[in-house]
Amino acid sequence: MVPSELDKALDGLVKAGFAGNKAELARIALTHLMSTLPRQMSHGYDLETAFSPDGRLFQLEYATECTYRGGSIAGVCCSEGVVLAKKLIMTPLMVTPNPFLKVFKINNTIGMVFCGLLPDGYLIVEEALRQMRVMNGLDIEGLAGKLFLFTHPFTQRKDVRPLGTAFILGGLDAEGKPRLFLLTSYGYAVEYRACADGMGREASKSILEEGYRADLNLEEARALAVKAVLRKKARAENVLVTSIDAKTKNFTDATVDERKRLLGRIFP
């Protein structure tokens, strides 16, 4: 087929109503081609938890994508204590504090907050509560290890999908020292001084990196965590922030008024 004939054929197809114009037709054809190519390259390796030729686990990468779709979370650790924050997307008539969308209290000095798939996150909260009940003297580092192992089979078995959630565990360890752990759906667990995940995580991390100082006091840490999850001005109802005080060992959810005050300071 010569170019002029191709051109005419395309015109004919447009006239016949297959597409609005030739550009659209080309777009359809390209979309079709594109949807074919990647499928051949990843087909199979990404349908179940198997390695691709270049050693990637697509299902885990896709699960990670899922954690970027649901909510923003952040944690900040300082010598005075630990802070956990969560951006809350309110739907009309929703109750706050909501028992399924909050900073969960695992025990008096450990809290947990997750982003991504709500049921998967809640499953891990329940596992954390169970671990604290059955294991005497488990501190926050030990709990992080247990939850790490709890999530491992979901990164390896082919009869279940991976967990689509990332979570931050914050609290005091056996010696009363503030600690902060981030565990992701990919199965990674790392200790941080301050961390964030979920929607807009890159911007959140930049805020933390800019604002973090080793000598933050608890009030400053709260402000930093709130800033990291919100990133821009929002209503007090749209953020949850909880702090665990290393000295008093208090586990405190900030009231709406406290959150308003924090917001006023952060986004004046």
Q: Does the protein bind a second copy through residue 165 (CB under 8 A)?
A: no
Q: Are 198 and 68 in contact (CB under 8 A)?
A: yes
CB of 36 to a second copy, least distance (A): 6
Q: Does the protein bind a second copy through residue 89 (CB under 8 A)?
A: no
Rg over CA atoms, the chain: 24
Q: Does the protein bind a second copy through residue 193 (CB under 8 A)?
A: yes
59-78 residues near a second copy, rule: CB under 8 A: 59, 62-69
Number of chain positions touching a second copy (CB under 8 A): 107
Q: Does the protein bind a second copy through residue 56 (CB under 8 A)?
A: yes
CB of 236 to a second copy, least distance (A): 18
Compute the Cα dihedral for 32, 36, 42, 44 and give only its sign: positive
Binding track, positions 97-126, relative to a second copy; x by CB under 8 A: -xxxx---------------xxxx-xx--x
Tell me the window of 30-38, 105-113, 216-224, 229-237 that interacts with a second copy (CB under 8 A): 30-38
Our CA dihedral for 154, 181, 140, 115, rounded to 10 degrees, sits at -60
Q: Which two tokens mark 89?
A: 């997307």
CB of 246 to a second copy, least distance (A): 16
* Residue 39: exposure state from Cβ atoms within 10 A (0-12, 13-18, ≥19): exposed
Torsion angles phi and psi, residue 16, rounded to 5: -75, -5
d(CA 70, CA 174): 32
Q: Does the protein bind a second copy through residue 150 (CB under 8 A)?
A: no
**From 79, 203, 205, 231, residue interacting with a second copy (rule: CB under 8 A):** 205
Q: Does the protein bind a second copy through residue 202 (CB under 8 A)?
A: no
232-251 residues near a second copy, rule: CB under 8 A: none
